[in-house]
Structure 1
Amino acid sequence: MSKTSNWMSIGPENITVTLSRPSVLNGVRQDKIVMRVPTMSDLRAATKHVKDKEEQEIYLFASLTECAPGDIERLSIRDYNRIQEGFFRHVNEDHADAAQAVGKAAGD
């Protein structure tokens, strides 16, 4: 099992990411965000309804965290990177392989 960061907690059905600073998510100021396990359906939905890869990822993360896309866009870069790392941990323990898989699913 690979080592995780102290700001990430991995469970069988979700990952909890502690934000570097509280942020407003769904109208509530929070210091953590929970991301559920992604499905192939989530990836397909993200690629169908948006214009570019960046927007696809924001849409996907919003869906997985049950937040509005605008909430994800307002996160600091540090916290957005934490969400990305959590996503890649969920799809595959090997971060590099997971990034390639997402790129292929998004039509890269």
Structure 2
Amino acid sequence: MPRFKTKDVTPVTCDPSYKGLPRCIMEAMAIGLPVVASNVRDNRDLLVEDGQTDFLVELGDVVGLARALEKLILDRELRNTMGGAGQKKIQDYSLEKYWLKWKEFMSVT
């Protein structure tokens, strides 16, 4: 079995009633960690590109969760690729981008 450190992957399960950006996913993406997350609205619609930046699994799908984690544990290249893609994606939520959008908005109104 390959050497694996707990910091190589971030599993995140969510309460489906929670609304808003999941900060723990954003933090993991920002430091280049791939995430295995619950397939709930904000994860799916705002952050995670399933199979590209991270993996999504259905709520309660323990086998799916285990398979996604296993894929990442066994494949360092996949972890690095997905981690890099997530790091790039999270830049859409950077303070600098939001500040520019805010200034643009304020100049229009």
**Higher normalized contact order (CA 8 Å, seq sep 6+, divided by chain length):** 2
Between structures 1 and 2, the one with greater strand share: 1
Give the TM-score of the pair, scaled to structure 2: 0.29
Give the TM-score of the pair, scaled to structure 1: 0.29
